[in-house]
Each structure stands twice: as C-alpha cells, then as structure tokens.
C-alpha cells in the first residue's frame, strides 16, 4: 500500500521553477529518503504535501486521499518537523506541547513525557530561552507526540549535536518499527544512507531517480581505479555504464554501472600495473547523478 | 476552540493595557467637564477666538459644547481614535503575527482547516474588543452620572457610546484584510497607526469641508453624534456602508487566506 502517491506534481512561483512533474510513491512502513542539493525543490514538494502551498498542476495523495481536499483530515495522522523551528516565544515548552496536542483530540501527556525524557528536554523552560538545538528538540517532540502514522521531516538534523542526532535516529527507527512511515528530506547523504530503505534524488525541481539504497550502493556501482603502463585514450573507455571518467597521466578512474564482464574483458587488453575495484560511497553516486544532468 | 483560547490568552496583556488606557482617558476627559460647564460663557468667548475651520476640525460645536452630550460627542472623537488603533492593531496582527513569528508552519500543519483558523482568530479579536467596550461603557456611564450638571438623555448617550464598538469592528475588519494581503508586515504598529491616522485626518477634513461625500471616506464620520442627538437614530446609508466594509473585508480576507501559499521565511 502507498502512503504517499505523488503524480506529476508541478509548482511554479510565477515564472520561476519550483518543481516540475515530480512523481514518486512512498510505501507503508518505509523510511524514504528525499535527497538533493539546496533549492532543488525538496521543501516545495513537502510543503505541497502538507497543503501549505498549492500545486500549479498535478496532485498528491496521502493515505489514498487528495492532500489538498482532505488536508485537515489527513493531517491528524501526520507529524511534521520543519527545517527551521520557531514557536510562540512567550510560551513555556510544556504549554506549547499541550497546545500542539490539543489539536489531535487525545491525551498525549504520557507520550510528551516519554519523548522529553529521551530527548533530554526541559519542559518548564520558556521557548524564548532555548538554544537552537533545544528548539529543534521541541520540534521533534511536537511532531511525534500524537504518534502519527506518517512522519515528514524536512532536513531535521541541523542544529542537533551528534549524540542527540543518534538518539533522534533511534527514536525514528523505533517509530518505524511500530508501523510509522517516514519521509525524510536531506542533503546530507550519510544520514539518509543509514536510515532509509529507498531514496528519491531531486535536482533542479525534477526527480532524477528513485532507487533502493542497497541498489544504489552495492549492486550496480563499482569504482574502478587503474594504473596503466602506457597512456590510454579516453575513447577506449567509451562504453555503456562508464561515468565520472578521469584520466591523469597513467591513472584512470571511473564509476561503472551494470554487468562487469564486458569492462573486465576490455581491461584485460590493457597492460595494467595496478587495479583497485571498490564499492563507491553514496556521496560519489550522488555526485554522479548531479553531474550527469549537466 | 483551542485556537480561540490560545489567541485570547495571547491578547490578554494588550487588552488589559488598552482597556486601562481608554478608561483613564475617559476619566481624564470627563472630569474636565464640570469646569467647562461652570464657566460656560467664558469658554465660549475664548473658543470664539479660534478660527471656525479649526473648531470644526477638532469637533467643537459652540452651541452644544456646554451640555453634557455636546461635550461628550466632542471628547468621544478621541476615545474612538484610541479604540480604532486598538482594533486595527488586533486586525493587522491576526495573521501577520504567524508569519512574523514564523509559526504559520506549526499551525497550518495541524488538522484544522484554514477557515477555522481565521474564524477562531477573528472571534478572539472581537472578544477582546467587546471586553474593552464593556469596560468603556461602565466607565463612561459612571463618569457621566458623576459629572453631570443637568439631566441628559441616557438613550442617546448609550447610542453614541456604542458606536465605539462599530468603529472598532470596521477597523478590525480592515486590519484583517491588510494582514492577509500584505505578505510580510514588519511592524504592526506602523501599519495600524498609519492607517488609523490617515482616516482620522480625512475625517477632520470632512468636518471642515461642506462636501458631504468626504464623510464616506472616513469611518470616524459614519456615526455623527450631532445627528444622533437630534434624531435618536443612526444614518442608514452609513450603517449600510459600515456593514458592507466589514463584510467585504472579512470575506476577502477569508478567500485570499484560504487560497494563499504559505512560504518559508
């Protein structure tokens, strides 16, 4: 079952691009990563899902219901954490969380306590007096206190120290085990790599690919680096699946996607001094996706 | 209901401050009256020295000035100015506050419709104004009976006093409209003072000029106390106009707010 279905979603800001024909699905129980550089359209997509902004064309469904038409209804089961959190300054943390809970029509006080304890958040402080990281914690508790079925996080880790980030990820994994679906946007790959099952990569407002993390990482890509005895022509490596080709004196390096047999045969014809074949980290794959489009 | 309560609580401080200021203004102005009425003739002579346009602009009418109702309609102009600023402040901050404090994301990702948000917020604003008006009525009635030199028509007195609420509602509606169409209001007080004083000055010009049409431009002139004293009723065209302004501003506010994109700030 798909918790989120996005169909050809387009948002233009006047003539400026927001997102163009974005389509992907997030399945139930998944931790789905949404990665791309700043300004690629991650927030635009997420804000449309939450009906904070309205699409120019296309549509999105959450829990099988149109996210604009049934906005208030589906938001009962959504927990959202924006990238920057600002809350009513003159309130105490406790009062803000109570106010937040009052929208869901159920008693959340126990969960608030639990979450505050995990995140080491002082409930009696004024929000005004909190540091950025602590405000972020308020945001996390606020987003999770009603035990939502869908958690949407827009670059959630900024401002959290590594220890808290760790706790936060554990918390998310636990929510996920309990059945929550998570949409996680980020430009930091390592966090996506750690948590997510699948990712959508977005660039310049368009989805470049949607793939399993494991596929991205292991199955298809190999990083080749070889030291040859004689200089080899660039054209020699002109074959399907080769990218990020760099030739420097007698050193050749490239990323390879696909069946490795043809490339191995080709390499066998060259006089090789040394060869390294490695799993690329996600960062390199990511850069590869970015550059491919240019 | 929770948004209403939250908003009302947020207004508590400003409601108290405005109410106290208004009541203080009432006590101050009304307590001058006995001195005025005692030396009525001398004051008349003194005031005759003012050029007529000036007297008209500040709302002085020599004939009625020394009666309680006449004096009251003169000072009432300043009560309504104070009330208008309060109402415009509330109206302007109704939605702009969420943008300025960047809490729009918080509120709008909760399971509530935008129309419910704006309804709760307007109702909280109206409640705050009504509370101010009740205190104002009590204070002004008490002061009137305390300083009166002669008996006065209490019905007319009440009719004039209640126009404060009408004027406030008009400015609340205008403020709400402004807060929806202007994407980012940096300073509420600058916008509200600017708007209110513009209308106030137009009102002054309307008093000095013989052109009746100018009155339509300033809500301060919709409920003319001289007319109320004379006829014990409001002027129908202006009542209709007031209702139209409130209706149009609020509906436009709803329509625009419901369709508006909420951007990150």
- Residue positions counted in chain A: 294
Cβ–Cβ contact A47 with B under 8 A: yes
Q: Which residue of A has its CA nearest to B260?
A: A53
Q: Say if the Cβ atoms of B113 and A84 lie within 8 Å.
A: no
What pLDDT was estimated at residue A285?
A: 67
Q: Say if the Cβ atoms of B264 and A47 lie within 8 Å.
A: yes
Task: Give the confidence band of B203 by pLDDT, cuts at 50, 70, 90.
Answer: confident
Mean pLDDT of B173-188: 85
What pLDDT was estimated at residue B191?
A: 86
What pLDDT was estimated at residue A196?
A: 87
Query: Measuring CA to CA, which residue among B162, B127, B161, B102 is closest to residue B11?
Result: B127
First to last CA, chain A: 35
pLDDT at B202 over 80: yes
Q: Say if the Cβ atoms of A86 and B10 lie within 8 Å.
A: no
Mean pLDDT of A286-291: 66
| Chain A residues whose beta carbon lies within 8 Å of the beta carbon of residue B117 | none
Residues 131-170 of A with CB under 8 A from B: 142
Query: What letter would DSSP give residue A60?
Result: E
Question: Which whole-number Å values give the CA distances from A77 to A3, A67, A143, in the listed order?
Answer: 11, 12, 10
| Chain A residues whose beta carbon lies within 8 Å of the beta carbon of residue B103 | 86-88
Q: Which residue of A has its CA nearest to B265?
A: A84
Domain ranges of chain B: 2-259
Give B241 or A279, the one with higher predicted confidence. Answer: B241
| Chain A residues whose beta carbon lies within 8 Å of the beta carbon of residue B104 | 52
Q: Say if the Cβ atoms of A78 and B109 lie within 8 Å.
A: yes
pLDDT at A281 over 70: no
Question: Using CB atoms, which residue from B102, B103, B111 is nearest to A103?
Answer: B111
| Chain A residues whose beta carbon lies within 8 Å of the beta carbon of residue B105 | 52, 80, 82
Q: Which residue of B has its CA nearest to A146?
A: B110
What pLDDT was estimated at residue A294?
A: 46
What pLDDT was estimated at residue B51?
A: 78
| Chain A residues whose beta carbon lies within 8 Å of the beta carbon of residue B108 | 50-52
Q: Say if the Cβ atoms of B111 and A102 lie within 8 Å.
A: no
pLDDT at A4 over 70: yes
Share of chain A above pLDDT 90, in %: 13
Cβ–Cβ contact B115 with A under 8 A: no
Task: Give the confidence band of A173 by pLDDT, cuts at 50, 70, 90.
Answer: very high
What pLDDT was estimated at residue B41?
A: 73
Question: Using CB atoms, which residue from A80, A82, A99 is nearest to B2?
Answer: A99
What pLDDT was estimated at residue B174?
A: 93
Give A24 or A260, the one with higher predicted confidence. Answer: A24
Cβ–Cβ contact B113 with A under 8 A: yes
pLDDT at A137 over 50: yes
Cβ–Cβ contact A102 with B under 8 A: yes
Query: Measuring CA to CA, which residue among B136, B134, B137 is closest to residue B154?
Result: B137
Which residues 6+ apart lie within 8 Å of B42 measured at CB? none
Share of chain A above pLDDT 70, in %: 93
Q: Say if the Cβ atoms of B111 and A84 lie within 8 Å.
A: no
pLDDT in tens, A189-247: 777 777 888 888 888 888 888 888 777 666 567 888 888 888 888 888 888 888 888 88
Mean pLDDT of B24-44: 82
Residues 222-261 of A with CB under 8 A from B: none
Q: Say if the Cβ atoms of B113 and A71 lie within 8 Å.
A: yes
| Chain B residues whose beta carbon lies within 8 Å of the beta carbon of residue A73 | 111
Q: Say if the Cβ atoms of A47 and B262 lie within 8 Å.
A: yes
Mean pLDDT of B171-183: 89
Report chain A's mean pLDDT, rounded to a whole number.
85
Q: Map out the domains of chain A with their CATH numbers.
A: 2-216 (3.40.50.300), 220-292 (3.30.70.1560)
pLDDT in tens, B225-235: 888 888 888 88
Task: Give the confidence band of B85 by pLDDT, cuts at 50, 70, 90.
Answer: very high
Mean pLDDT of B28-44: 79
pLDDT in tens, B98-147: 777 778 888 888 999 999 999 999 999 999 999 999 999 999 998 888 88
Residues 33-92 of B with CB under 8 A from A: none
Mean pLDDT of A74-80: 91
The whole-model pTM stands at 0.82
Share of chain B above pLDDT 70, in %: 95
Distance CA A201, CA A208 (A): 6
Give B81 or B66, the one with higher predicted confidence. Answer: B81
Pairing of strands A206-212, A57-62: unpaired
Mean pLDDT of B151-173: 90
pLDDT at B70 over 70: yes
Cβ–Cβ contact A181 with B under 8 A: no
């Amino acid at each position: 079952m798909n918790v989120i279905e996005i169909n050809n979603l387009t948002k233009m800001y006047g003539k400026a691009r927001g997102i163009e024909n974005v389509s992907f699905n997030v399945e139930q129980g998944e931790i789905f990563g949404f990665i791309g550089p700043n300004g690629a359209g991650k927030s635009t997509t997420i804000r449309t899902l939450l009906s904070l902004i309205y699409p120019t064309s296309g549509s999105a469904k959450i829990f099988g219901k149109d996210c604009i038409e049934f906005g208030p209804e589906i938001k009962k089961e959504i927990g959202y954490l924006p990238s920057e959190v600002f809350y009513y300054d003159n309130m105490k943390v406790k009062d803000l969380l109570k106010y937040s809970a009052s929208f869901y029509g159920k008693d959340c006080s126990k969960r608030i306590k639990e979450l505050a304890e995990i995140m080491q958040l002082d409930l009696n402080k004024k929000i005004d007096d909190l540091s950025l990281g602590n405000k972020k914690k308020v945001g996390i508790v606020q987003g999770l206190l009603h035990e939502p079925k869908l958690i949407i996080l827009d670059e959630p880790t900024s401002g959290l120290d590594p220890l808290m980030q760790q706790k936060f990820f554990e918390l998310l994994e636990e929510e996920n085990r309990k059945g929550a679906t998570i949409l996680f946007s980020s430009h930091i790959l390592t966090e996506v790599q750690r948590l997510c099952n699948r990712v959508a990569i977005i660039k310049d407002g368009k989805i470049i690919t949607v793939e399993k993390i494991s596929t991205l990482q292991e199955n298809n890509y190999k990083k080749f680096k070889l030291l040859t005895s004689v200089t080899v022509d660039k054209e020699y490596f002109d074959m399907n699946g080769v990218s990020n080709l760099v030739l420097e004196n007698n050193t050749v390096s490239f990323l390879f996607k696909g069946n490795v047999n043809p490339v191995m045969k080709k390499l066998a014809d060259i006089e090789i001094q040394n060869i390294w074949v490695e799993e690329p980290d996600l960062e390199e794959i990511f850069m590869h996706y970015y550059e491919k489009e240019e | 209901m929770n948004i209403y309560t939250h908003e009302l609580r947020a207004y508590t401080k400003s409601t108290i401050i405005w109410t106290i200021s208004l009541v203080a203004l009432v006590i101050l102005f009304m307590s001058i009256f006995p001195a005025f009425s005692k030396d009525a003739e001398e004051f008349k002579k003194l005031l005759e020295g003012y050029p007529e346009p000036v007297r008209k602009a500040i709302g002085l009418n020599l004939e009625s000035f020394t009666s309680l109702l006449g004096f009251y309609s003169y000072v009432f102009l300043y009560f309504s100015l104070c009330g208008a600023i309060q109402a415009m402040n509330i109206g302007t901050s109704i939605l702009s506050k969420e943008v300025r404090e960047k809490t729009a994301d918080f509120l709008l990702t909760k399971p509530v419709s935008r129309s419910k948000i704006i309804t709760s917020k307007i109702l909280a604003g109206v409640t705050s104004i009504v509370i101010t008006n009740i205190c104002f009525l009590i204070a002004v009635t008490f002061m009137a009976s305390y300083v009166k030199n002669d008996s006065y028509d209490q019905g007319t007195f009440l009719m004039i006093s209640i126009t404060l609420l009408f004027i406030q509602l008009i400015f609340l509606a205008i403020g709400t409209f402004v807060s929806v169409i202007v994407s980012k209001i940096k300073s509420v007080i600058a916008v509200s003072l600017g708007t209110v004083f513009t209308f106030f000055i137009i009102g002054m010009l309307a008093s000095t000029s013989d052109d009746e049409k100018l009155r339509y431009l300033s809500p301060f002139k919709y409920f003319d106390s001289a007319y109320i004293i004379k006829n014990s009723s409001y002027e129908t065209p202006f009542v209709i106009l007031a209702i139209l302004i409130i209706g149009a501003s609020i509906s436009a506010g709803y329509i625009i707010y419901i369709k508006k994109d909420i951007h990150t700030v």
